[in-house]
Each structure stands twice: as C-alpha cells, then as structure tokens.
Amino acid sequence: MSRNENPTVTAAASDGTGHLDQDGLLPQLVAHLREHRTRLRQEWARRIQEAHLLQAMTSQEMTAETTLVYDNYVEVLETGSVEALQHYARDLSERIIPRGVETNEVVGIVLLLRDVLARSLFEKYQRDFSLLNRVLDAYEPAANRIANTVAVSFVEERERVIRQQQDSIRELSTPVLPVRERLLILPIIGVLDRERARQLTVQLLSGIRTHRAKVVVVDITGVPDVDESVANHLVRTVDASRLMGASVIITGLSPEIAQTLVTIGVDLSKMNTIGDLQGGLEEAERLLGYSVARDDGVGGP
Amino acid sequence: MTSPRLFSILRQGLHLIASVHTALDDSQLVRFQADLVERIGADRARGVVIDVAALDVLDSFGSRTLRDIAEMARLRGAVTVIVGIQPDVAFAMVELGMDTGSVVTALDLEEGLAELDRCLAASPLPGP
C-alpha cells in the first residue's frame, strides 16, 4: 500500500500529536464504510471466492457471516474496543472449526477485508495525499489490531477445543473395572504415551487400594505400539502394584510389541504375561482360587 | 520418652505386628529395626507384619531398612510381610530403583496376616 509518498506528514501524524486529527478522521472513515457497506461487502465476498477461501460454507452462510464480520469490523474501528469482536470471533470459530476451516483461511479473509477497505479509502482520498496518509494512519493500526484479535481468538478457540478433546480422551482412556471381588481389569485402547502411562499408574494403584484388589489384568490388545520409556514405566507400575500386594497380569501383547520389547531389552522377567484377555482372566481366577465350571445340562452360554 | 510413640510392636498369636505411626528419621529407623529384631527373638515370633500405612513418603534408607529387617527376621526364623504401602510411596520406591524384590508385601494388615498364615502353612517349622 503506497502510504509513504509524503514522509513529513506521516511522521507528523504518527508521533502522538496526530491524535486530534485521527479522532476527527475515524468517524469520517466509519461513516464512509457504513455508507458503502453493501458494495464493499460484496467486493469482499467476491475476493474471498476468488481466493478459494471458506469453501466449506454455503453462499447463504457466507453472506450472513461476511455481513456480521463487516459490521463488527466497522464497529471496532469506531469504538476502538476489541472486546465485542473477540467475543464474536470466538463464537464464529466455535461454529466453523468443526467444519474444517483452517487458520490460514480465517486470517486470509480478515486480511482481504482489510485490503478491500483500504483500497476503497485510497480511492476516496487519492486526490489529497496528506489526508490519505492521515486516514491510513488512523485506519491501519486499528485494522492490524482487528486482524490480530481475530487470529488470536481463532487459535485460542482451536486450542480450547483440542484441550477439551484431550481431557475427554483422558477421562475415557483408562477405566478400572472390577470383574470379581478383588479382581480388576484395565483395558487400554490407543497409543500409550508418557502422560497416559503416568495416568494409568495412578488409576491402577488407587484402584488397587479402593477395590482391595489382589489381581489386576491389564489388557493392551488395543495398544498399537510402545516405546522404551513407556515399557519401562509399565514394568515399574507392575512392581509398584506388587508392593501394594497385588499381582498384575499383562495380556494381549501384540507380536510387534513383543518384538519391540525384546529388541530394546526391557527386562520383562518379572512380568506375568498371558496371550489374551481370556487366558488372563482364567489365570487370575486360578490365582484367586475361583473355579468356574459350566453346567453341562445347559445348552451353552 | 515423653513424646508420642513413633512405632509400636504388638504380639498377636505367633506373629508380631509392628506399626509405624509417623515418619521416622534415620536414627529412629535404626532403633525400630533393633527393637523389632530383638522382639522376634524374645517372643519367638514366626511371622512379622510391618504396617507402613501412615507413611506418605519412604526414602531409600527407609526401604533399605525394611528390606534388612525382612532379611534379619528370616535369619531369626520369621517371615516378614510389609503392608499398607500407599500408591504414591509404591511408585516412588520403584521409580527410585529400590530393590524390594525379595520382600513380601500385602495390601493391609488383614491381608498381611492371611499371607503370613499361608507362608507358614507352606513351610511348617517345628514349632510349639
């Protein structure tokens, strides 16, 4: 954007003393943007389509959202307060993130709007360069702040969604289920990372205490892979369980995991492992002194 | 000693029940060890339950002392079971790489006594 044609005016306007002028200019600018609202908004929507942004949205939605964004944008220019915009941006992000809208698209459309509006200002004031300079000096910091606010709100919202999902995964991920008196099973599904392994330990050890468990079957059929630190953590968890008087049976070690563990040399000699969950439960019942027998007269389970 | 007792050693049938009431420092641990090993002989105990449920931290000296007690008790003819290790303590002990391999553990006092009975039934010594 050509705004440095007249360096002396720029300097004068940008050093604090230009505030009086800017105070007068912004309302004028806002009035201009309000007056040409429809035309500018359509121009903006056309630019968005040209840039192939926001293709996840239908044209009606686009119209509705661009109108709202436009009004919010002008309002921020007028009041200088970004709070309402922040709120709106977060709200908007909440609606569009599930549709797969990316950060670059959101930033892209805001920058397009900034560009469209700057061009219209340029057109309007191009006859008077010093005035144009002062208008842009008033407009640009506010526009930058708006772009910044929208981008930050979008990213924050996105992070919030990610955190929320992580939390719910965490809650769901390690259930401790009592199957018989003093027998617990812990089915583990999904990748075991350090954080989950740590959480598993906490759940397992406190589960042993609350349920007074003597035997725990940890089923890792659903775990695709483990690395060395997680494997060592598992071994330590098994040791700690033993200190609390419970024996741990690990079931469902996949061939890949077995191979990994042997290759990286984790000491599993103290681990009691059994092929599948069924075998693990049978072994656990044997350890606890249960004997399960089927009634022969009944036609099966 | 005017301060409250740090530990107690009670006799229950053929067994001794040693409860630690509060965190012990190193010299207190040594006294605990000496008292307990002394009592094993004096009471002709066949089993010892050490209850550490009141401890929310156990350092390397503490766990080594427990292991030593178990070993000494074995030499004096008694089986030792350690009970009431808290989850945090258990994991910290393992994390610090403390070798507790040979020590028998159980969840709580009741379990510990049951464990002792099982151990003694498996290896009956010529007793009273």
Residue-level pLDDT at A123 = 85
Residue-level pLDDT at A217 = 94
Each of the 128 residues of chain B gets a pLDDT tens digit; together they read 456 788 999 998 889 999 998 888 889 999 999 999 989 888 888 999 999 998 888 888 888 888 888 888 888 888 999 999 999 888 888 887 776 667 888 998 988 999 888 888 876 655 44
The enclosing H or E element of A273 equals strand A272-274
- Could you give the domains of chain B? 7-122 (3.30.750.24)
Residue-level pLDDT at B17 = 94
CB pair distance less than 8 Å for A243 and B90: yes
The enclosing H or E element of A266 equals none
CB pair distance less than 8 Å for B87 and A208: yes
Helix, strand, or coil here: A191? coil
Q: Does domain A7-168 have CATH number 1.10.490?
A: yes
CA-to-CA distance for B119 and B128, rounded, in angstroms?
A: 17
Taking the domains of chain A in order of start, what are their residue ranges? 7-168, 177-288
CA-to-CA distance for A283 and B3, rounded, in angstroms?
A: 49
Q: A212 — contact with chain B (CB < 8 Å)?
A: yes
Each of the 301 residues of chain A gets a pLDDT tens digit; together they read 444 444 444 333 344 434 444 557 778 888 888 888 888 888 888 888 888 877 777 878 888 888 888 888 888 888 877 787 888 888 888 888 777 788 888 888 888 888 888 888 888 888 888 888 888 888 888 888 888 888 888 888 888 888 888 877 766 667 888 998 899 999 988 888 888 888 888 889 999 999 999 999 999 888 888 888 888 888 888 889 988 889 999 998 888 888 888 888 877 777 888 888 999 999 999 989 888 888 776 655 5
Contacts of B62 in chain A (CB under 8 A): none
CA-to-CA distance for B45 and B60, rounded, in angstroms?
A: 27
Q: How do residues A126-145 score in pLDDT, each as one tens digit?
A: 888 888 888 888 888 888 88
CB pair distance less than 8 Å for B85 and A244: yes
Q: Which residues contact B114 (CB under 8 A, 6 or more apart)?
A: B106
The enclosing H or E element of A217 equals strand A215-222
Cα separations in angstroms, B92 against A238, A246, A253, A289, B85: 13, 17, 26, 31, 11
Residue with tokens 């012990």: B24
CA-to-CA distance for A117 and A78, rounded, in angstroms?
A: 14
Q: How large is the ipTM?
A: 0.77
CB pair distance less than 8 Å for B111 and A236: no
Contacts of A181 in chain B (CB under 8 A): none
Model confidence, pTM: 0.60
Cα separations in angstroms, A142 against A10, A151, A241, B31: 16, 14, 60, 75
Encoded tokens for B114: 């049951």
* Reported CATH class of domain A177-288: alpha beta
Sign of the CA dihedral running B126, B109, B38, B25: positive
Q: How do residues B42-70 score in pLDDT, each as one tens digit?
A: 888 899 999 999 888 888 888 888 888 88
Q: Which amino acid type is present at position A118?
A: A
